[in-house]
Amino acid sequence: MAERTKWLVDTEWLEANLDNPDVVILDGSWYLPQLQRDPKAEFARAHIPGAMFFDIDEIADLSTDLPHMLPSPELFSTELSKMGMSNGQTVVVYDGVGIGSAPRLWWTFQVMGIKDVYILDGGLPKWKAEKRPVTDVIQTRAPGHFTAKLDHQAVRNFDDMLEAIKDDGVEIVDARSTERWRGIGPEPRPNLSSGRMPGSKNVPFQDLVDDNGQIKDVDFLKQRFVAAGVDLSKPIITSCGSGSTAAILFLALDTIGQKQLSLYDGSWTEWASREGSIIEKD
């Protein structure tokens, strides 16, 4: 069997651990508005037993109008403690498409210093296809004690990116569609120009995921980045539309052994709306 990322747990393992108090299951589903999917409503109708819903737009930095920006460690710690989470637990995250927004939640935990966090292989679609149990019962836990510590090296902001576009020793890799990256297709957010950051490379996140919602094997991932002209010997910053699917690239690059990795949290939504940014188009 082809080698795949170490950050996956399979559906069989999760079903066997549904009653394990040291395993916390989180539904991190999030969708672009034009998909007209309500992740909270879908969760309320059917979710993996014991799972809790993690709203990446609510447990976020709400002082900005940018979507689901990384929360402060203090806010993250407070909210997770309220949910009944404590340090030392194993966290399993999933979403409603397989590999969609779950990697963003996985990345968030990684950035907050929690390494014992995994993604459900195939997510909810695979779980349901295998006729595994779902429920509409909302799980509640007694308050826990969770403490986060932010890894500043894994996050990049606008000022960092202004420097990065001038640095030949850094790679910027964009997860958006090739049409949006080239500037010949529209952005899903109104009044936002498409295009790219100078020097960035393009690896659409869809290329890294199978039709069944599972991330592809290590050899394919490496070949795909190399084919896009990414120099894997350099530090890499991943970006996308709003910082969500950039985490799929982050996961894929981690899978192939890339150590110097960070993610541009504001991503294209911030870059294309800020004065001082440079936008290239074909």
> What string of DSSP letters covers 8-68?
EE-HHHHHHTTT-TTEEEEE-----GGG---HHHHHHHSB-TT-EE--TTTSS-TTSSSTT
Is 240 part of the annotated catalytic residue set?
Answer: yes
Taking residue 67's Cβ as centre, other Cβ atoms within 10 Å add up to 19
3-class secondary-structure state, position 140: coil
Alpha helices in 113-266 (DSSP H): 123-129, 158-164, 178-182, 218-227, 246-255
CA R_g for the chain: 18
Q: Which candidate in 69, 240, 249, 253 is catalytic? A: 240
Angular region, 138: left φ>0, alpha ψ -120 to 50, beta rest: beta
Q: How many Å apart are CA 75 and CA 67, to the nearest integer? A: 16
Give catalytic residues, as residue numbers.
240
